[in-house]
Amino acid sequence: MLSVLRNRAYRHLFVAQVIALIGTGLATVALGLLAYDIAGPRAGSVLGTALAIKMVAYVAIAPAIGAVAHRIPRRALMVGSDLTRAAVALSLPFVDQVWQVYVLIFALQAASAAFTPTFQAVIPDVLPKERDYTQALSLSRLAYDLESLFSPALAAALLTFMSYNWLFLGTVGGFLASAALVVSVVLPKPAPTPAAERTGGAYAKATAGSRLFFRVPRLRALLCLNLAVAAASALVTVNTVVYVRDHLSRPTGDVAFALGAYGGGSMLVALLLPRILDRVADRTVMLAGALLLPVVFAAVGLITAASQGGWRWPALLGTWAAFGAACSMVLTPTGRLIRRSAPPEERAPAFAAQFSLSHAAWLVTYPLAGWVGASAGLLSAVVALGAIGLIATVSAVRLWPARDAEDSLHVHTGLAAGHPHLDGAVEVPGGWRHRHVPACDELHLAGASATR
């Protein structure tokens, strides 16, 4: 998997992503402490509102950025986003009003909504071979999971000899380092934007990616898979502390162990998937992960219904790890699915749409997990989120045609020898023949003929 890091451009971008993630993790810890200093006992409601603002920024800003991304050099857009995030993080230690926190959080997350989809759209151009791109997706998944484990531990270590305000400076340093790494590489030129997108109205441009999702069957299924994953991750993110402290009466430190079990399951799958995806179709892996979620919800329901028993703690760790594994089975191949479904010139709005629509699912499930759990109890939250996950999974299975996962044997007649897409293809009279899952791009909509 690490062989992909030999590519200098990708290596710098990946390190930039990791450093920015660590900086964001430090800011998350510091923000909680800042909210407590400002609001005292109301800190929970402040953080809840800040989380909602974060999701609203993601849902609203990403499509707008995707609409104008073709007018801005991608490197300039990512560097500008990093510098904006650094400026916001530098301002946070000086706020003393709750409304100031909200404004700065919106600005910070709006910049993230510009950076992340642009970064995701660049990687397929930097790594045109699908095997390399698959390894990059697994590394990205590992980076997210490791950050969730490493950043809180790093923050705790730093807080032993400094105040939390200094953590914001760590965030500033992370974003500045990320910007420097992005500046240090030359990115491939993006594909020309279609004339229809250049001349269309603002609404048409902003919704281009979303319309692609509703047009392509496998992407419609991905919308449902996003909702299923959001239901599971919301239960873990919002209610882990309730399970550990109240339901199981465990010490505070065990909250980190439970979240670590979720991250560990996700990382294990991310490590295994590159080899698995060489032999198994994306559809099979992603739907298997989604179908595992209702089973895990049922197991969590049994743990929740049980009022006593020493077996509940190891069982909770096991189900949390299973949740992480199942979610990783769905999330890790997502980039491959979008890459295969969107022509190169439509990748930026497609990744922006995925970013926006997936966070829209979390915008629904996060508050649901908290409100239902607080008002009706944990078991009701499990049942409600489990039902959402089951309905979403069944819908994904029905929307994603089985034939979409079948390898298609076809011949390319207009590609030169050495083209990245021809890796492993066999030369035949008039062109190059190979077999893979059908793609919705210009290489296959034109210039390729099916064969048997």
pLDDT tens string, the chain, 452 residues long: the values are 567 888 888 899 989 888 888 887 788 777 767 777 787 766 656 766 777 788 888 888 777 776 666 677 888 888 999 999 999 989 988 888 888 888 888 888 888 888 888 888 888 888 888 788 888 888 887 887 777 767 766 776 777 777 778 888 888 998 999 999 999 988 877 655 554 444 455 555 556 667 777 888 888 999 999 999 999 998 988 888 888 888 888 887 787 788 888 888 988 998 898 889 888 889 999 999 999 999 999 999 999 998 888 899 999 999 999 999 999 999 989 888 888 887 777 777 788 788 888 888 988 888 888 888 878 888 999 999 999 999 999 999 999 988 765 555 667 676 677 666 666 677 777 777 766 555 555 555 544 555 44
| Tokens 């992407």, located at residue | 219
Angle at 248 between CA 245 and CA 254, to 5 degrees: 55
Which secondary structure element, helix H or strand E, spans residue 201, and what is its range? none
Please answer whether residues 142 and 135 qualify as being in contact, where contact means their C-beta atoms are separated by less than 8 angstroms. no
pLDDT of residue 196: 44
Strands 426-428 and 431-436: antiparallel
Give the integer Cα–Cα distance in Å for 383 and 15: 40
Give the integer Cα–Cα distance in Å for 289 and 272: 14
Nearest to 291 by CA among 246, 326, 322, 245: 326
Strand partners, 434: 410
Give the integer Cα–Cα distance in Å for 375 and 369: 10
Please answer whether residues 431 and 411 qualify as being in contact, where contact means their C-beta atoms are separated by less than 8 angstroms. yes
- Could you tell me which CATH number the domain at 1-185 has? 1.20.1250.20
Other beta carbons within 10 angstroms of residue 297's beta carbon come to 22
In the chain, CATH 1.20.1250.20 covers: 1-185, 203-405
For 4, which DSSP code? Answer: G
Cβ burial of 131 (10 Å; 0-12, 13-18, 19+) is middle
Phi and psi for 428 in degrees, rounded to 5?
A: -130, 165
Give the integer Cα–Cα distance in Å for 246 and 251: 10
Please answer whether residues 75 and 189 qualify as being in contact, where contact means their C-beta atoms are separated by less than 8 angstroms. no
Please answer whether residues 82 and 176 qualify as being in contact, where contact means their C-beta atoms are separated by less than 8 angstroms. yes
Strand order in the sheet with 431-436: 426-428, 431-436, 408-412, 448-450
Strands 448-450 and 426-428: unpaired
Give the integer Cα–Cα distance in Å for 36 and 21: 23
Query: In 3-state terms, what secondary structure has residue 161?
Result: coil
Please answer whether residues 347 and 121 qualify as being in contact, where contact means their C-beta atoms are separated by less than 8 angstroms. yes
Give the integer Cα–Cα distance in Å for 50 and 256: 22
Other beta carbons within 10 angstroms of residue 362's beta carbon come to 23
pLDDT of residue 45: 62
| Tokens 């210039």, located at residue | 447
The fold for domain 203-405 equals Growth Hormone; Chain: A; (1.20.1250)
Strands 431-436 and 448-450: unpaired
Give the integer Cα–Cα distance in Å for 27 and 112: 13
Distances (CA, A) of 405 to 213, 220, 286, 390, 436: 17, 15, 11, 22, 9
Give the integer Cα–Cα distance in Å for 184 and 180: 6
Distances (CA, A) of 175 to 20, 113, 157, 170, 286: 5, 14, 21, 9, 33
pLDDT of residue 197: 47
Which secondary structure element, helix H or strand E, spans residue 253, and what is its range? none
Give the integer Cα–Cα distance in Å for 377 and 368: 12
Buried b (16+ CB within 10 A) or exposed e, 154-186: bbeebeeeeebeebbbbbbbbbbbbbebbeebe
